[in-house]
A and B are shown apart, each in its own frame.
Chain A
Amino acid sequence: MSTPSYEYPFRIGEVIESDTNEFTTQCYELYGAPSLGTLVKAGETEPVYGVVSYSHTSGLDPTRRPIARGEGLASEDLVYDENPQLNRLLTTNFKTTIVGFKFSSQITTYLPPRPPRIHSFVSQCENTEILTFAKSLDFMSSILGANLPQSDDVAAAFIRYACQALPEETELRVESAKRLASLLGNDTRRLEGILRRIPND
């Protein structure tokens, strides 16, 4: 139930919803969604890449609402220990904005001709893949333009994620910021807001 680290091993879940722009993955583990901004891939040989833009945990059955269960319990974990069925009844899904795909072992940074199939396995990406997308940032315009309330955070989160995953790329943070700046040339306010979310660490 802990947040996966960057070394998180392969499979996270499966695609349960898929369209041209995004796909939804159901996690194998409750609360198993990768951090916002993480690059994941769906599919095995010619995967489709996406950046985690939204994650959601709720009851499997939409008609059943969770109720408060922890009154009188010493810790939050006890709520789950005392109600083991919760792990089965709750499910964590996450949405990913599609940012590219691999075709004949070449990664392209634009939308694939078709989205991943349902039940495609979704797994975390390797550093070389992260680097490809971090260097291109072609997809940023679609994330920023998606008009999601969390668009800016996703953009910032991806850059944070890439910088953290690729510590040897020392210029990545500033280069990415410049790319953002050129994308948001006429909206410095917004740009500043995003940049503030990419602290130097």
Chain B
Amino acid sequence: MALDLERTAHQLDTMMSGLKDFSSVQTDRLGESLNLLEGFVQEVFLGKLDTSSGLFQWTPPIFPESPSKSIKEPSIPVDYSVVGVDGSHIDVNRHIPVDCFLINTGSAYLRYGAASEAHLSSSPKLFVPPDETVISDPNNPHQLLQIQGTILGAIRAVKEMETLAMHLKNEELANSEPVPVVGLVDGTLLLLDLLRPGIPDFVIDSVLTEGFLGALNDIKKTAEKSEIVVASYISLPGSDEIIDGVRMLACPYTKSDCLYHCGDIKKGTRPCDSASEGLLDRDIMSSLLEEGGRSELFKSNFHVARNYYGDNEITFFYLNTGYEIARVEMPAWASEKRGNIDLVHAVVMEQCRKGGGYPTALMEAHEQAVISTSDRQYFLNLVEEVLERNGIEFTTSQKDRSKRLRWL
């Protein structure tokens, strides 16, 4: 037996007893934060945000006027389309002699209304060495970054957005009588992983600016001509940006200089902790939003991102889908129009209802993109076959072989 479940269960019991104490504290903190939002005044908040800039340790978004308001589900157009895009990948496998990886992008085009129809497709792309598996600095060809892990995830996001841009463009071109179109991707539009320290600039330029934001700009261009909106859907969001704002509201100091005031105070006992520590945005939102309702639009305020995103600055709202609290992000240019937000709200709600808690278009796109375990194995076999046919001996590491052949 690989995992000693008996011992694990015992440990789980211990964990639960800790959690019980925790949850009552949580309830108190949630109540506190709701109180703070009750008395929210936008000017005060924005002023404090401004004065505390650079000193406050958290990055609250720009709050709307009534952050605790629940906006009712708007009506949905009779005819509309949804394009969902999702991707999956086979990462570089160091057990095989070639550093290749594969991204499979799935998309689902669903048209509703009188001329209802659907197109489901997937498009795999194999990235092969030497050029496609690395990102190189255009100014210094010797500066290379092997694409894998986090970067590969970002590349995948780029592929997804490019695919969405292509579909939306095609849709715009194909329809003589255009209907509102909502383009949906899964996961956040904020590629913060790329902006972490240590990632060279040429990578950011290549992946984020040229790739991801380039695709978003393409969509923006298409959207100028017809009613096209792009949004991303985040299920069970782990974000706590709004909580960050609540912290600021809870901060008793005029100028929230965290190091100065609370630098010596243990985490959990700081003044702001009473209304925020351990809470997530969705905890608050689940208390605030009625079923089918959305929050007002928040504007993300990560200064690292601001330089790159520009027009594509991320705005977001939370949505009570009836199944969960979801986070919906839209680039600022798309959320500028209230109508667009309503469209996204209505469509995502309807999608969640159809999809049983998750937007159908994304679910189908995921189904198109997903690479099953057997397909992964089959892909490996294919690679092996191709290599051997071309005289390259396929030597896997002993570990990999032992994984594949489980002898006694």
Contacts and interface: CB of A to CB of B under 8 A. Distances in A.
- A and B: bona fide binding partners: yes
Interface of A: 61, 64, 67, 69, 80-89
Contacts of B111: 84
Contacts of A82: 112, 116, 354
A85 B364 contact: yes
By Cβ-Cβ distance, the 10 closest A-B pairs, closest first, are A84-B118, A85-B118, A84-B116, A81-B116, A88-B120, A88-B118, A85-B364, A84-B117, A84-B110, A85-B110
Contacts of B112: 81-82, 84
Contacts of A88: 118-120, 364
A87 B354 contact: no
B124 to A, nearest CB: 17
B73 interface: no
A85 B356 contact: no
A64 B372 CA distance: 13
A83 B360 contact: yes
B86 interface: no
Nearest to B113: A81
A69 B116 CA distance: 16
A116 B111 CA distance: 37
B335 to A, nearest CB: 27
Interface string B312-347: 000000000000000000000000000000000000
Given A61-B367, A84-B110, A85-B110, A67 B356 contact: yes
B272 interface: no
Contacts of B110: 84-85
Contacts of B113: 81
B108 interface: yes
Interface in B88-113: 108, 110-113
Interface of B: 108, 110-113, 116-120, 354, 356, 360, 364, 367
B139 to A, nearest CB: 47
Contact of B360 (A61, A64, A80, A85): A85
B120 A89 contact: yes
A81 to B, nearest CB: 5
B353 to A, nearest CB: 10
Given A84-B116, A89-B364, 11 more contacts: A69-B354, A80-B116, A81-B113, A81-B116, A82-B112, A84-B112, A85-B118, A85-B360, A88-B119, A88-B364, A89-B367
A190 to B, nearest CB: 44
Given A67-B356, A82-B112, A82-B354, A87 B118 contact: yes
B367 A87 contact: no
A67 B360 CA distance: 13
A188 to B, nearest CB: 51
Nearest to A81: B116
A64 B364 CA distance: 11
Contact of B117 (A67, A87, A89): A87
- Residue from A80, A83, A85 with most neighbouring chain B CB atoms (10 Å): A85
Contacts of A69: 354
Nearest to B120: A88
Contacts of B116: 80-82, 84
- Residue from A61, A67, A88, A89 with most neighbouring chain B CB atoms (10 Å): A88
Nearest to A85: B118
A89 B110 CA distance: 12
Contact of A83 (B119, B354, B367): B354
A149 to B, nearest CB: 32
- Residue from B110, B116, B354, B367 with most neighbouring chain A CB atoms (10 Å): B116
14 contacts: A64-B367, A81-B112, A82-B116, A82-B354, A83-B360, A84-B110, A84-B112, A84-B116, A85-B108, A85-B118, A85-B120, A86-B118, A88-B364, A89-B367
Nearest to B114: A81
Nearest to A80: B116
Contacts of A64: 367
Contacts of B360: 83, 85
A85 to B, nearest CB: 4
A87 B115 CA distance: 13
A185 to B, nearest CB: 50
A61 B375 CA distance: 13
Contacts of B108: 85
Nearest to A67: B356
Contacts of A83: 354, 360
B269 to A, nearest CB: 49
Contacts of A81: 112-113, 116
Contacts of A86: 118
B241 to A, nearest CB: 33
